[in-house]
Amino acid sequence: MSTAPGTTSATDENAQIRQIILDARDATVSRATVSDDSPLVVYFSSISGNTHKFVQKLRARLVRLPLHTKEESPTVTEPFVLIVPTYGKPDGAGNVPPQVVKFLNNPENRAQLRGVIGAGNTNFGPLFGIAADIVSRKCDVPVLFKFELMGTPADVEKVNEGLEEFWTQNSLQR
């Protein structure tokens, strides 16, 4: 039995529901392994929530930057890794979200930044994840990884492993 174009079958819907449940379970399992010694990740996620969905799967303590620039930015008093999405601007200007710029304009926050991970869309070609490159260059920290949109399960695992190794090598624990 086929379905009309643009519609989904009950089987497709069931598969989608199963995937949502598995994703939620994976996020819960991952979040359960977070301790006070886990890496600290500061991140910004827009209304789309792509970056938020990704970071929820990390074994890290999380601080989300406010959605609106008029809201107070946190001051971070310990080392952290920043996860930043790239905004698509054809000329390259304005690729770093203004909320991230505001956060990093605080010298205390910049002093604690140890690395940056970029989120983006490969449709942007050479501008893919460029916000991470810009932050890296301006703050003199390494780009640790880049992932597309919400990332894949393999991306999540690579970032979890990389954060653990980076955190340990750089003695970033509190």
Residue range 3-62, pLDDT digits in tens: 555 555 667 666 666 666 555 555 444 444 677 778 899 999 988 888 999 999 999 999
- Per-residue pLDDT, averaged over 69-92, amounts to 87
Whole-structure pTM value: 0.77
**In the chain, pLDDT over 90 holds for what percent of residues?**
48
Q: Which of 116, 124, 115 is nearest to 95 (CA)?
A: 124
pLDDT at 54: 93
Residue of higher predicted confidence among 138 and 11: 138
Nearest 5°: the CA angle 132, 55, 146 is: 30
pLDDT at 16: 64
pLDDT at 20: 61
Looking at this protein, which amino acid is placed at residue 165?
A: E
Calculate the dihedral angle through the C-alpha atoms of 46, 65, 27, 170, rounding to the nearest 10 degrees: 130
pLDDT at 167: 80
> H helices of the chain, where?
10-32, 50-55, 98-104, 107-112, 130-139, 153-169
Mean of the per-residue pLDDT values of the chain: 82
- Assess whether pLDDT exceeds 60 at residue 136: yes
pLDDT at 32: 44
pLDDT at 29: 44
171 confidence band (pLDDT: 50, 70, 90): low
pLDDT at 18: 60
Among the listed ranges 76-80, 88-92, 150-154, which one has the minimum average pLDDT value?
Answer: 88-92
Neighbours of 81 (CB within 10 A): 27
